[in-house]
Structure 1
Amino acid sequence: MSNRRLAAIMFTDIEGYTALMQRSEVEAMGLRAAHRKIFDSFTTKFNGEIIQYYGDGTLSIFDSAVDAVKCGIAMQLAFQKDTQIPVRIGIHSGDIVLTEDDIIGDAVNVASRVESLAVPGSVIISDKLFDEIKNNPDIKSIYLDTFKLKNVKHPLGIYAISNHGLVVPPRKMITGKLEIEKSVTKRILAGAAIVLLLVAAWFVQDLLQVTKEQTIVLLPPKNYTGEEDLDYLVEGVHDLLYGDLCKVSDKLRVISPFTARALTNAGKSMSEIAAELDVDYFLETSISCVEGDNLCINPRLVEFDTEERQLWTEEYFEKKGEILNFNHFLVNKIADDINIQLTPDAELALAKSSSVDTAAIDRYLRGEFYLDQFNPMTITKAGELFKHAIAKDPDWGLPYAGLSLVIAYQMQLGFI
């Protein structure tokens, strides 16, 4: 017996559960039991229906989109207390077919893809579900971006619930089950390029080289200066480097800093992270001193196959105003050492000189630090710092991007 109905569909799962199970079955089972206890309690409280438990995850449905989101909020707040369970939650709404012990339908697949975009502590929803909850005064949300999800025909607008206590992932931190859209022109050009390469290979076979995709993790940066008030600088330099690495090539997969931090905070070793994420390289960065406008930067590149092998460790003494140029140099060095060919666009971007005013970059990095804390006071403070950065160096583009994000956040949250 089956019946068709409209429902809000919620998926949850515990991040890093598989690796935890390999490390300690007792600890993993305890974490799952705590997760299910909270999940059962709040699903019942908010009139939900539990459809399925699977490993470390759950599937449930709600007649009301508002109830589903309020349930997700309550669960995340509970997961963050005491046991600190790193749970991801995704919700979508649509037409489903409900059988005796399962649900089927395209909306279920979409909900699963939406959940894959979440990070621990967050509740991520689709634009369709957003339309059903946007007028509820108890629920706050922020638009993240439009994503092309795997096996989903049309791009989907994605929102994060931004009520107090929830994590709102920055756009650059979002990974998941995504597809990269290519324009028709790009496909034609790519096809032509492949044909030319194959023809050339008939005559000179060694001209055609197939490059394996490589994966690199930027481990959380270390502040060895002994001054906690310089965390903004250490984090900011690290984030700028992450942005440059992401531009290198589609043959280089760069794991998001949020994921790297979550796994590191969970006590995972390099070998455990490498096994879970199929990692080839790790990049560690630290700042050991700040002398006036100069920084002591210490990067270390590690290759991981079956065991850890250090490729190099270096020490650089750089001016703050030259940090963008230093990152360009470092990214070029890393690409050379791991045999990744830069795309033409990346090669052009990394070849540009990007010296900026020292005070401007300092204010920009402080602004990013405050913006990531995501509350009304810090968002306002970030806006002020980005304006100061623009005043110091009007030709530098990043502070304008930061200020645009501040305005977007304020509009989404109803501050302006």
Structure 2
Amino acid sequence: MAEAETSRVGRRLAAIVAADVAGYSRLMGLDEVGTARALRERRQVTDALVTKHGGRLVKTTGDGVLLEFPSVVDAVECAVAMQAVMAERNQDVAEDRRMLFRIGINLGDILIEGDDILGDGVNVAARLEGIAQPGGICVSSSAYEQVRGKVPVDFTDLGERTLKNIARPIRVYAIGSNANIDRAVPPLSSAPRLSIVVLPFANIGGDPEQEYFVDGVTESLTTDLSRINGALVIARNTAFTFKCKAVDVRKLGYELNVRYVLEGSVQRAGNRLRVNAQLIDADTGSHLWAERFENAVADLFDMQDEIVSRLANTLNSQLIAVEARRAEHSPHPDTTDLCFQGAAWYNRGRTPEHMAQARGFYERALALEPGNVEALVGTALVDVGLATTFYPDDRIERLASAEVSVTEALSAAPNHPVAHFVLGMVQMFTDRVAQGIAECERALALDRNLANAHANIGVGKLLIGRGIETEAHIREALRLSPRDTTLYIWSMYGGLAKLLLGADVEAIDWLRRSLEANRNYPIAHFFLAAALSQVGQLGEARATVRAGLVLNPSFTIRRFRNNSPSNHPEYLVLRARLYEGLRIAGVPEG
């Protein structure tokens, strides 16, 4: 009997508070030292509030804390006070650098293990924190029932929510002015990642002659989205059972077990056609993204292809960004979580900081799963990006490393379109242009919407002295993906082609577009300076060089000349004009 008593697990009922900093990894990427200091300062304040309200700090987990209170009223009052203090501290801070806490509160039975607490009661609090809006508080129904009418705050009923690894749905309430679920950071869901259903687009106006076009857009988009690596797209036969029906997207998401719903409409007015599309988080019902396509009606089938390509390309980057934000809040990220985060950092643009963050996530994924295809392709992309943007001393070594990674990826997944595209880039920038163009064409055969492959065929043409053909390929890429995350790179190469051909005014236009899309792209600054110098705008050219050297202080004419990607005679002749422009603009000789 005594032995049974001593082995009994300790339990008690408690109010559990889980809190963390929204977007902490992003803040650390912006300013590691400053973010760590700001977190320490804020914790001094919040620790005092916890003590004042009778709570106990159970443990810290990086940027998060787990707290225990004997009273739900004390827990809620403390959480409200914490958010009020944080809001005050953030008043004079730039919006993108504000430190915003998310807080989840649950009343539940907990297991006692020394000073630690465990069990579903704790897990629910952690999941509620994960779906709270930055600066907001979410509470479970068990906590709400004990606190309503006792604390002077407003509650918003968010309905029953399915929380990751929690067996039953939990009714959730949000507190105060931040009552809406964060639209920028969707909650974790039990549905598969990148799972989506494309609902039949609505035919506004009901023109029966247009019905085939509307259905064609839906079917083609379903097919093309399924080409996104890792995507799970509900078959069109299932999706079309919802045609012309009013749909509750949250209920639909639950029934089909998908994270996202894409819905849209087609409307024709005279000789113009308008297509609207919206991506919806099936878990919350919130709109994550919307797009409108409008154009004069010409060939409907050509228009259908263009619409589908644009939507598929945009959705690819949008879904990666959304999944990366979900993964950021996963306590135990797996290889897929890490790859999404790596891709999201890569898509932010080619700066040393962004590339280092991307590489870090991909390397963590490879440590968990050596040979992971997406991580191998990702590390190759990072190596190519650094080699072709900053012209480092180890450029050849980085390109060789990229080729090893992408070759390994292709041995495991020979029909991976992005891997073929990356191999094509490596070959182009190591003086194997014809092979590189062939690899990009192979990538397009596997995925007709891979706009990057179109653009890089144009780059390849430039590297063999056929720059007059480059613009057409760049414009095709822009047609397929006008808001692409790499648009600034395409525009830079469009400008470079024009500059080498002596079309300086057109070159300036392309290069300004590149910098409008990404001010942190150093090579575009240098090329723009060269073009400006050729038309006599020396003051602006030299200012542009200074801006480029801030981003890449090691750039010199010698370094650039010694790292020519191609030794094709016609390209080298054209390139001499670029050296002249760089020299006039004031780029260091080196």
Higher strand residue share: 1
Q: In which range does the TM-score fall when normalised by the shorter chain?
A: 0.3 to 0.5
> Normalising by the residue count of structure 2, what TM-score does the alignment of the two structures yield?
0.34
Higher helix residue share: 2
Return the structure number with greater relative CO, CA threshold 8 A, min gap 6: 1
> Normalising by the residue count of structure 1, what TM-score does the alignment of the two structures yield?
0.47
Larger radius of gyration: 2
